[in-house]
Chain A
Amino acid sequence: MAPADLIDSGGKRAGGFGLLQSRLFWLVAVALIVMATVPSWASGYVLGVLTIAYYFGVFAMGWDLLFGYAGEVNFGPTFLIGVGAYAAGMLNSYAGLSVWPATFAGAAAAVIGGLMLALPALRLRGPYFGLITLVAVLLLQKLIVVFAAYTGGEIGMTVPSVLAIDPSVNYYYALVFMAVSGALLTAMARSPMGLILQAIGQDPIEAQALGFNVTKHKLVAFIVSAFFSGMAGALFVFYLGTVSVGAVVALGIDVQIIIAAVLGGRRTILGGALGAIFLIAASEYLRPIGELSNFVVAAVALAVLLFFPGGFLGWLLHPRAKS
């Protein structure tokens, strides 16, 4: 990697941005080119793993916008993902909506769900906000289970349509979706709006004193996060052809998304994608050790958290982290 001294040490927020951006830009460009060639040399199996990882990347990036920038710990990203996924799946199943309209409808449903959750929840702070988002997941889960006749309950339902059967086509859908989401989310995070969010996240009282409307900005962040999460959830459903609670509305998935974002590096957006790819790939790689694979992945993530708290991208971009 390029020498660390290129970045001025104190100036993570000051002068470093343009430079950082350009370096990151080239890194990402190279990575994308490599990723685009994967179907020509890898097996369908690798493509399948990466497809899942890319959707997870979008989940994690959406979460990072909310936490890394707005400073809100959303314990329930799968509430947004789940609303998008189930709305799309059920519209496809019962209303006969085809894949793409259903996907956008799913994203819209997630935005509405997000608004309903965020409007009151944003009055709360810290653990209380976290608890509300957590409870939202539990309530959604319960609703899905109670209305099992329509939703397939805990175990899941089959949707009639799928994006594609060919693994390469599915892979490109996921890759393009992740790239576009990543670009839009990064642009947003780097915009004045993103800077204000960051200021709010670090010191809401000061930000308010400076005249920024804290709630409004957080609400926008929530909506953007909801849109991408919901859409990713919907596409995920049409990739698999099934939707189940365990896959899209579960604390386990929430945990994974949070881990991916923290591992990748908070307040970086793209770190979420990196963390997700690592997480999914690692768990697949470890599959031969059987039931212990999840244990080892969690242990590795814990070690990274303890020893490299800046996450992968933080470590990549700031090898000498501030002390």
Chain B
Amino acid sequence: MLAITRRIATAVVLGSGALALGLGGPAQAASNKGPINIGVIAPYSAIDGASIINGAEMAVDDINAHGGIMGRKIKLFKYDNHFSATEGVRAFQRAVNQDHVVAMIGIWISEIALAMEPWSGRLKTPFIVTGAASTQIPKHVHDNYNAYKYTFHDWLNSAFLADGVCDSSHDLLVKPLGYKTAYVMSEDAAWTKPLDNEYLKCLPKAGLKVVGHTRFSPDTTDFTPVFNKIEGAKPDVIITGIAHVGLKPTVQWHDQQVPILMAGISAQAGASTFWKRTNGATEGIVTTSAAVKGAALTRKTVPFTDAYTKRFGTTPAYNAYTTNDAFYFLKAAIERAKSTNADKVVAQLEKTNYVGNIGRVQFYGKNEKYTHGLKYGPKYITGVALQWQHGDQVAIWPKKVAKSKVILPSWIKNKKHASK
């Protein structure tokens, strides 16, 4: 289609930023007795946006049911950024100036996180990014600590995500299936730049020679040409980096029976509603995510997944786990600081050592490469690889939580070269 404007919705009434409530009367300044205001921000209408909001609501309900933070209840302010950086910034300004939030949590898209990041410094408000992956987020904190120290990155950055994909591909594809070549296919976005760089470095080390690399525009409506080109290169597997785009490549891959397995990261495939949205075309897709139902990464994983699924009718996407965690370690930091003062809370957040839904949360320090970024590794957080099998998300990596192996869709031949 002449693809043109997308999202009239987004922009229709530009005013439509991301306010929670408040019809204009000046809000009360935060007192020491009233509730503690915390903001959460995401594009509501996306699978991976709703999951952030849902994860936050579960945390707030639970914390409030158990006495709140230092005896004060949390009041949650929700903001919809409608996929726009501008709306994200406006929401952040409003959250701080009007709603007096003590911290802002969420964000699904890296570009929006990056636009908001300087504002966490300007507004002196802790900002915990739970759903974006760009390495630039912690890098900014590292390069300009005083201005950016309010930002924390509570999700694996792209380079770590790529490492996770390489490690799992080695264990799942190279050894058991004899795969030797890979084709990297990513959407053109801030988070995939470091992702692709790392893919190109770590895939060969994992035993997969990269035979081609395509970055497609998030606007792409018809993926036939993309798949056509990839098939021509005859790779054993397509390693993906897709999040903002999810449905179309998946559906076309299935409908056209592209005879090559898709593995890597397909962020939307992490939530179970993706099955309905794609009419089952996601069967066979392998993706890395934060966690998956039934895979007990920590003792919190399974209860959280089940409670979430029961409440919202879908399994959580990766950022529901991280957003949910963020409220607990923020609570802990505020309690240790005995204050909601931004600088004091930041100092305590840096000392976070919290076992959450998907592993142990710790942040890298001021002098490390990814300052305020989530620590990666078997002792901390690695994520899991899952595959859609018979309409269900099944953990296939790491070994300690794996329930199954890779199953190839019927139209993919189980041979070294799946070309015709």
Are B89 and A155 in contact, CB atoms less than 8 angstroms apart?
Answer: no
- Of residues 90 through 130 on chain B, the ones whose CB sits less than 8 Å from some CB of chain A are 90, 93-94, 97-98, 109, 111-112, 114-115, 118-119, 122
Q: Which of A46, A158, A162, A250 contacts B24 (CB 8 A)?
A: A46
Tell yes or no: B10 within 8 A of A by CB.
yes
Query: Binary interface profile of A, 217-259, with partner B (CB < 8 Å = 1, else 0)?
Result: 0000000000000000000000011111011001111011000
Chain B nearest CB from A298 CB (Å) reads 7
Tell yes or no: A284 within 8 A of B by CB.
yes
Which residues in B have their C-beta under 8 angstroms from that of A16?
Answer: none
A157 to B177, CA, bound (A): 43
Are B84 and A138 in contact, CB atoms less than 8 angstroms apart?
Answer: no
Which residues in A have their C-beta under 8 angstroms from that of B109?
Answer: 155
Are A242 and B7 in contact, CB atoms less than 8 angstroms apart?
Answer: no
Q: Which of B2, B86, B112, B122 contacts A240 (CB 8 A)?
A: B86
A279 to B14, CA, bound (A): 9
Are A242 and B86 in contact, CB atoms less than 8 angstroms apart?
Answer: yes
| Residue in chain B with minimal CB distance to A237 | B86
Q: Which of A103-111, A187-195, A286-294, A308-316 contacts B (4 or more CB under 8 A)?
A: A286-294
Given contacts A148-B188, A246-B10, A291-B45, contact A285 B97 (CB under 8 A): no
Given contacts A141-B5, A240-B89, contact A298 B12 (CB under 8 A): yes
Which residues in B have their C-beta under 8 angstroms from that of A167?
Answer: 93, 97
Tell yes or no: B65 within 8 A of A by CB.
no
Query: Binary interface profile of A, 139-171, with partner B (CB < 8 Å = 1, else 0)?
Result: 001000110100011111110001001010000
Are B24 and A43 in contact, CB atoms less than 8 angstroms apart?
Answer: yes
Tell yes or no: A280 within 8 A of B by CB.
yes
Are A252 and B11 in contact, CB atoms less than 8 angstroms apart?
Answer: yes
Chain A nearest CB from B151 CB (Å) reads 13
Are B16 and A283 in contact, CB atoms less than 8 angstroms apart?
Answer: yes
Given contacts A156-B115, A256-B12, A294-B13, contact A43 B5 (CB under 8 A): no
Which residues in A have their C-beta under 8 angstroms from that of B20?
Answer: 287
Residue of B11, B13, B90 most packed against chain A (CB within 10 A): B13
Which residues in B have their C-beta under 8 angstroms from that of A284?
Answer: 15, 19, 23-24
Are A242 and B85 in contact, CB atoms less than 8 angstroms apart?
Answer: yes
| Residue in chain A with minimal CB distance to B6 | A154
Across the A-B interface, how many residue pairs have beta carbons closer than 8 Å? 163
| Residue in chain A with minimal CB distance to B118 | A158
Q: Which of A42, A153, A157, A283 contacts B13 (CB 8 A)?
A: A283
Query: Binary interface profile of B, 183-195, with partner A (CB < 8 Å = 1, else 0)?
Result: 0000011100000
Determine the interface band of chain A, counting residues with CB < 8 A from chain B.
35 or more
| Residue in chain B with minimal CB distance to A297 | B13
Are B94 and A154 in contact, CB atoms less than 8 angstroms apart?
Answer: no
| Residue in chain B with minimal CB distance to A43 | B26
Given contacts A141-B5, A158-B115, A241-B119, contact A288 B23 (CB under 8 A): yes
Leading 10 A-B pairs by shortest Cβ distance? A252-B11, A155-B111, A156-B85, A45-B98, A43-B26, A283-B13, A247-B86, A252-B8, A283-B15, A44-B97
Which B residues contact A (CB, under 8 angstroms)? 2, 4-16, 19-27, 44-45, 80, 82-87, 89-90, 93-94, 97-98, 109, 111-112, 114-115, 118-119, 122, 188-190, 217-219
12 new A-B contacts, CB < 8 A, other than A43-B27, A252-B8, A280-B15, are: A42-B26, A45-B19, A48-B97, A49-B15, A137-B5, A155-B84, A167-B93, A243-B86, A246-B84, A253-B14, A280-B13, A284-B15
